[in-house]
Structure 1
Amino acid sequence: MALASAESHHLTQSQLESTLWAAANALRGPVDPGDFKSYVFPVMFFKWISDTWDHNHVQAVADFGDDLTDEIEATYQPFALPTECHWADVFGNTVNIGSKLGKTLLRIQEANPGKLDGVFGDVNWANKERLPESALADLLDAFDKLTLDPAHINGDMLGAAYEYLLREFAEASGKKAGEFFTPRHVVHLLVRILNPQPGDSVCDPACGSAGMLVETVNAVNANGGDARTLSLYGQEVNLTTAAMAKMNLYLHGLEDFQVVRGDTFREPKLLNKDGSLRTYSVIAANPPFSLQNWGADSWAHDPYSRAFGGEVPPVKNGDYAWIQQIVSTMAEDDGRAGIVMPHGVLFRGGKEGVIREQLVRSDMLEAIISLPNNLFYSTSIPVCLLIFRKKKPAERRNHVLFVDATKRFAAGKNQNTMSDEDIDVIHAAYRDGTEIDGDGGLSLRLIGLAEIEENGFDLNIGRYIKGEAAAEANVGEALILMREAQERLATAQDVLDEKLKAAGLDV
């Protein structure tokens, strides 16, 4: 049974979060902590839907009494809940709990086409080898002790609690966390730089668990705007992660959004009615770095003309394909974009060098911000923010702003972090663009196109900003080049071995 109303109503944020984490830990032992999210989030979302339906039903009965009809009831409910698909219908089972839960989630999903498609993921709940019935019963029992409706969980508590679980699951997942989670301080900085406004259309083409979209909403609300005027879009290739994105947005009180599952390169699904690519006021993304086999074979003849500069990025590195995708979908009037990228995109040659030159000449690249090392779960290599703008302010035309913020961090046990003060300093440096040489642990320069051209369109930060931080970044860049060279050598060796085998020679 659920806790009494008074007790649940007085749960603090920390109490709610600790209770949810305790629920997740009910799986510890038979389930790897890196997989907690696949089981915990669907159960949490199911409980929220069920409790919210009860809350809204009580209100509908109070308003209409005996005159209440199914049609009127539907206007109170954000989601349809089929008969025998309530939380109590599942929690009351003592045998084959997983089978009952799986069928229930499927029926709820089917009853809400267009809203809950794929939202519960693809877990086989009936597989007792993967999820013992005792562990599932413990998980359900932990959630049954909470009432997750508007009367018991105030304001943005549930959305914040979801974010808390995302962070905890990221810690447990290690490098796999990069598939779904960007550290919130990085998200906060990037969105703050892009400065979303009421009425903007916002997209993340590699949306993970939708942290960028949620932060955009938070930013508009924090500045006194009405985030309900935003149009939110996301695409994500991983089914579980796409489901997490939808849940994240719903649990933050958002209903008007479009998150689709699919390969952004091979099957872009965020299209206009005429089949053309949508364009957006704001694009914020932390796509997977150095993606191999991303779809280069079709890029030269891409029907959406995304190969900016007429060059196809390397088959085994999709970094510039993400950049091309994003600059191709910036709105003409007010389009701006921020992308998290490895430093290698700043200086690698070949096809990438050709594309980089075209980007600089197009005068859409506004700023490069070098971030501290070891901020991310998925990589410890140096990373940067690339800021693009369709129409730069007059003082930045034919220039690129270089910001070295590598010293603005607080050291952590597993990952470094950026404090609110760090974010304030970096944002002010980007906004003001005034030259600083190491002041407050940050350096910047506004570099003209002529100087960049003299350097062969190499955007390596060490060419433009001298000092210890730049030298440290160069070491990281050298490591990237070494690793890439090692990968190319290994690939060449594999090809040689195959040819030798084909010739009948021993290898």
Structure 2
Amino acid sequence: MNKQKLANRIWESANKMRSKIEANEYKDYILGFIFYKYLSDRELKFLKENGFTQEDIEALTEEDVEVMKYVRGRIGYFISYRNLFSTWIKMGKDFDVSNVTDALSAFNRLINPSHKKVFESIFNTLETGLSKLGDSAASRTKSISDLIYLIKDIPMDGKQDYDVLGFIYEYLISMFAANAGKKAGEFYTPHEVSLLMSEIVAHHLKDKTEISIYDPTSGSGSLLINIGRAVSKHIEGENNIKYYAQELKQNTYNLTRMNLVMRGILVDNIFTRNADTLEDDWPYFDEANPVETYDPLYVEAVVSNPPYSQHWDPKNKEADTRYARFGLAPKSKADYAFLLHDLYHLKRDGIMTIVLPHGVLFRGGEEGVIRKNLIECNHIDTIIGLPANIFFGTGIPTIIMVLKQKRDNTDVLIIDASKGFAKVGKNNMLRASDIKKVADTVAARADIDKFSKKVSRKKIRENAYNLNIPRYVDSSECAEKWDIYASMFGGIPKSEIDELNRFWKAFPGLREALFIEGEGPCVELFTDSLEQTLIDHHSVKNYISNFEGVFRDFDEYLKTELMTNMAEVKTSKEEGVLTDYIFSRVTPMPLVDQYKAYQVLHDEWTKIAIDLEIIQTEGFSAVNRVDPNMVSKTKDGKEVEVQEGWVGRVIPFDLVQQTLLLDEYRALEQKVSRLVEITAEYDEILESIDEEDKESSAINDSGDGFVAKEVGEVLKEIYTEVETPEIEALKAYAELTKKADKLTFISENNVVNWSNMEANQDDTYAKKAVNAYVLELQSVFEFPEDSFEAKIIQASRLMTEEKEVKAQVKAETAALQQKTKETIESLSEVQALELLEKKWIVPVVEQIGQLPHEVVDELTGKIKGLAEKYAVTYATIETEIKETAAALSDQIDELVGNEYDMKGLSELQKLLKGE
């Protein structure tokens, strides 16, 4: 199971297990236990790497002071064997809530003194919250046992970026945030916003060899971690980043510390404080020895997502060095207080990014003064307007402001990124292409129409230091305009054709081939087959051919990058390498959106990276592994996990079936398609039955389906009532008892085909045979095609076929699943590489190859839209109105009524005739 599937499974189970506990609270419990598991597993790994046998480990107690101090001194803490997470699992039914309380208490007591800042009281939230997991010790034991069994399979280490633990931790935080309402803002910055801030900071710091980063409202710590990951792509070596974090709320502060530690960051590089950022600032020092431990904090990067427009106390802070140069934020809105705090802690060549509400751009009063001072002192570098409804718990639009202590520019880059997002559930989400476009624009300080603009300080002064984005960047859609001449006389205005000039430049001669020039301001569409004319035009063919030429070796390049050097691919950096390759080829091509190409790559890379991480961690043999496909089902009122077939760990079952087991796959698909057809045929039959016949018991109450059991009963009645001369004769024969009468009847009634029955030795026919023949004749009787009886018979036959096909599908699906499993397990290296190529390379190449065709489709749509827009002239509409009015007036002449009715109709006629 890859990390995404494992994360999904844990989230779904945890969300059900929390019952009535608020998501915001429950996250602290499950994340706390995950962290405890991490610390336990980390200690076990350390012990085994340092020669401890299993017997030695099982003998570990805190009474063994020498070993305890050794372990504590090396990893910062000590957990005795009986308190290890793995021991809890081994205890089975003997596990009790007291094991947890004892372990957490012991942990706090056995922290190495030098690591207290990182570990002390880190489990306080979990300890105090255990009581909420049940009303009794037994119920709490049950809840905790369920939790620890849920997370027991999370691997806690890996190679490269196979960071399953970190991924799951981040995923759970995001999902709890999505369910925590307004409280989500206390601990979570959406991952995509965090990535955007990270890319901006990383570009600024890309030439550094060592850096320190600080988040004064750290929440879960994800912002710091993402910044660190982004910067580390440019820094050689490890452990060159120092992390500083401050957080006000105790439980959220614990999240920060856990998250940082679990990402494998050296404890010596983690500096955290649980304090009010605005009231209790750094410098950092040890309260027991403030003079010698005094360490003023200045860093290369500050990132923060502070609480928006929070109240604070500015009293007696005029001399505070953080605010003295710029002014004090108003009591009711601390936004600028946080911003100035962040700016103060920047080194001279540092950079900061902060998320704030739009109001900071234009509000007056004290905030206006601060904004003016920041602009005049040349600290504001960039303003990025984000989409609304992008943060959990609030729908207000927000901005990212980028500031620096020292800048070479005096302008401010303003970006309106509010239109670039995807709708995901109730929220908007920045796509990878949106993030890259903004980050690239910041790096290049580019002016892009309707997206970004560098604004001079002079211009800002003229606007009274108001930085409201729409004053400088108009990202609104152009209002649709209508040409009055074309509306009256028809044709397509040349002026609107001119607006497609970027297409005409890319496709020389195409405009002339599509339109007939007239004397007036309009043109006519030359062809009735627009799509075919476009596709066949030499400039379009050349355009597509040129694109294909540019990417002719793309598949080979990808194979070399991803497959030839599979074991050496650095997944954290490879996407950037592939992006540079694609951009270098797409950028010279007119009309193709390079960010659309990047989105294609990113969507596929997300899946490719997971596979690479698995292969690099487990070896190439991972391609031959299959895992049980576990699904949740309700059994006896409880949710239980059961196995439904198998899934490939790396190679998907459907890919194997469509490549190596194609005959069996197609045969099964045909049967599945037949089931779909049968459903459609049911619907056709039902639609053709009149409402009176739908009262039959064979049709359900809503009239949209057949009742299988009742169809059989109704069918019996239908057949019983069938009468033909042959059936009547047979029924009469069945009443006879004497042999002579039977023989006479047989000789006199040639309406019966007597040879269709087996005769007795005396040339008569048994009653049983006669009745069977009667039923046979009734069952083959052909009713009129449109009769209710014929439709019930048709439905019955479909039901019989459907039952047979379903049984075949079930059997063949099971057989194909088993054969696919065996095929994956026995794949040769050549076969596996071929399948990986189809999974990794082909989708990217095919989707990139579609980009020029999408350009042509876009132009086609625009021309069609213009043609339809002016297809009906005002004169045509006016004529239709007159003709309709005249027809209505003539119909009024035929109407009769009382005196007043006739007067009213007469007046209506006058209006219709324009009198």
Q: So what's the TM-score if we normalise by structure 2?
A: 0.46
2:314 pairs with one of 296, 316, 319: 296
Q: In 2, are the aligned partners of 1:308 and 1:355 still within 8 Å (CA)?
A: no
Letter in 2 for 1:165: L
1:214 aligned onto 2:225 = yes
1:428 aligned onto 2:448 = no
Q: Structure 2 vs 1, CA of residues 152 and 356 (structure 1 numbering), >3 Å: closer, same or farther?
A: closer
In structure 2, how many angstroms separate the alpha carbons of the residues matched to 1:180 and 1:40? 15
Alignment match, 2:325: 309
**Offset of 1:389 from its aligned partner?**
1.1
**Offset of 1:468 from its aligned partner?**
1.5
Letter in 2 for 1:296: P
In structure 2, how many angstroms separate the alpha carbons of the residues matched to 1:436 and 1:30? 50
Deviations 1:400-423 (A, max 9, x none): 111111111112221111111111
**Offset of 1:180 from its aligned partner?**
0.4
Of stretches 427-436 and 80-89 in structure 1, the one that deviates more from structure 2 is 80-89
Of stretches 166-175 and 112-121 in structure 1, the one that deviates more from structure 2 is 112-121
Letter in 2 for 1:230: I
1:326 pairs with one of 336, 339, 342: 342
1:283 aligned onto 2:302 = yes
What RMSD over aligned residues (CA atoms) do the two structures have, in Å?
3.0
**Offset of 1:434 from its aligned partner?**
2.3
Q: Structure 2 vs 1, CA of residues 470 and 219 (structure 1 numbering), >3 Å: closer, same or farther?
A: farther
In structure 1, how many angstroms separate the alpha carbons of the residues matched to 2:369 and 2:241? 36
In structure 1, how many angstroms separate the alpha carbons of the residues matched to 2:319 and 2:92? 55
Deviations 1:87-143 (A, max 9, x none): 366564979944442342132123113331232133424525766543552443442
Deviations 1:55-82 (A, max 9, x none): 322332359998x962654566453114
In structure 1, how many angstroms separate the alpha carbons of the residues matched to 2:263 and 2:141? 26
Q: Structure 2 vs 1, CA of residues 280 and 39 (structure 1 numbering), >3 Å: closer, same or farther?
A: same
1:465 aligned onto 2:473 = yes
In structure 2, how many angstroms separate the alpha carbons of the residues matched to 1:422 and 1:52? 38
Q: Structure 2 vs 1, CA of residues 360 and 245 (structure 1 numbering), >3 Å: closer, same or farther?
A: same
Letter in 2 for 1:127: S
Q: Percent identity over the alignment?
A: 27
1:415 pairs with one of 409, 427, 434: 427
5 Å-filtered alignment, 1:242-261, equals 242-255=253-266, 256-261=269-274
1:172 pairs with one of 168, 179, 183: 179
Alignment match, 1:107: 106
Alignment match, 2:487: none
Of stretches 29-38 and 376-385 in structure 1, the one that deviates more from structure 2 is 29-38
Q: In 2, are the aligned partners of 1:13 and 1:157 still within 8 Å (CA)?
A: yes
In structure 2, how many angstroms separate the alpha carbons of the residues matched to 1:125 and 1:386? 38
Q: In 2, are the aligned partners of 1:22 and 1:142 still within 8 Å (CA)?
A: no
Larger Rg: 2
Q: Structure 2 vs 1, CA of residues 122 and 96 (structure 1 numbering), >3 Å: closer, same or farther?
A: farther
**Offset of 1:387 from its aligned partner?**
0.6
In structure 2, how many angstroms separate the alpha carbons of the residues matched to 1:469 and 1:225? 45
In structure 1, how many angstroms separate the alpha carbons of the residues matched to 2:253 and 2:458? 44
Deviations 1:400-449 (A, max 9, x none): 111111111112221111111111111111111222112xxxx2111111
In structure 1, how many angstroms separate the alpha carbons of the residues matched to 2:226 and 2:157? 25
Alignment match, 1:240: 251
Q: In 2, are the aligned partners of 1:24 and 1:139 still within 8 Å (CA)?
A: no
**Offset of 1:19 from its aligned partner?**
4.2
2:131 pairs with one of 109, 127, 131: 127
Of stretches 206-215 and 115-124 in structure 1, the one that deviates more from structure 2 is 115-124
5 Å-filtered alignment, 1:357-376, equals 357-376=372-391
**Offset of 1:363 from its aligned partner?**
0.4
Letter in 2 for 1:264: T
Q: In 2, are the aligned partners of 1:410 and 1:419 still within 8 Å (CA)?
A: yes
1:58 aligned onto 2:48 = yes
In structure 1, how many angstroms separate the alpha carbons of the residues matched to 2:245 and 2:222? 11
Q: In 1, are the aligned partners of 2:30 and 2:147 still within 8 Å (CA)?
A: no
Higher relative contact order (CA 8 A, sep 6+): 1
Deviations 1:307-354 (A, max 9, x none): 14352211111011011111111112x111011111100000001111
- SS of equivalent to 1:297: coil
1:268 aligned onto 2:268 = no
1:182 aligned onto 2:189 = yes
Letter in 2 for 1:144: Y
Q: In 2, are the aligned partners of 1:201 and 1:230 still within 8 Å (CA)?
A: yes
Deviations 1:248-289 (A, max 9, x none): 111111132112111001112453676574111100111110
1:450 aligned onto 2:458 = yes
Alignment match, 2:33: 43
Gaps of at least 5 residues in structure 1 are 1-10, 472-507
In structure 1, how many angstroms separate the alpha carbons of the residues matched to 2:405 and 2:262? 33
Q: Structure 2 vs 1, CA of residues 198 and 374 (structure 1 numbering), >3 Å: closer, same or farther?
A: farther
Q: In 2, are the aligned partners of 1:280 and 1:329 still within 8 Å (CA)?
A: yes
In structure 1, how many angstroms separate the alpha carbons of the residues matched to 2:129 and 2:370? 47
Alignment match, 1:483: none
Q: Structure 2 vs 1, CA of residues 53 and 352 (structure 1 numbering), >3 Å: closer, same or farther?
A: same
Alignment match, 2:213: 202
Instruction: Give the aligned length.
Output: 450
Letter in 2 for 1:143: I
Q: Structure 2 vs 1, CA of residues 63 and 51 (structure 1 numbering), >3 Å: closer, same or farther?
A: closer
In structure 2, how many angstroms separate the alpha carbons of the residues matched to 1:149 and 1:413? 30
- SS of equivalent to 1:80: coil
- SS of equivalent to 2:245: strand
Alignment match, 1:484: none
Alignment match, 2:84: 86
Of stretches 420-429 and 261-270 in structure 1, the one that deviates more from structure 2 is 261-270
Letter in 2 for 1:416: N
In structure 1, how many angstroms separate the alpha carbons of the residues matched to 2:96 and 2:54? 36
In structure 2, how many angstroms separate the alpha carbons of the residues matched to 1:129 and 1:53? 28
In structure 2, how many angstroms separate the alpha carbons of the residues matched to 1:227 and 1:347? 43
Of stretches 126-135 and 18-27 in structure 1, the one that deviates more from structure 2 is 126-135
In structure 1, how many angstroms separate the alpha carbons of the residues matched to 2:13 and 2:258? 18
Letter in 2 for 1:434: A
Alignment match, 1:5: none
Q: In 2, are the aligned partners of 1:462 and 1:470 still within 8 Å (CA)?
A: no
In structure 2, how many angstroms separate the alpha carbons of the residues matched to 1:462 and 1:436? 14
Q: In 1, are the aligned partners of 2:83 and 2:99 still within 8 Å (CA)?
A: no
In structure 1, how many angstroms separate the alpha carbons of the residues matched to 2:476 and 2:276? 40
Q: Structure 2 vs 1, CA of residues 50 and 23 (structure 1 numbering), >3 Å: closer, same or farther?
A: farther
Q: In 2, are the aligned partners of 1:30 and 1:135 still within 8 Å (CA)?
A: no
Q: In 1, are the aligned partners of 2:257 and 2:272 still within 8 Å (CA)?
A: yes
1:143 pairs with one of 141, 145, 148: 148
Alignment match, 2:8: 18
Gaps of at least 5 residues in structure 2 are 61-65, 480-915
- SS of equivalent to 2:428: coil
In structure 2, how many angstroms separate the alpha carbons of the residues matched to 1:353 and 1:313? 10
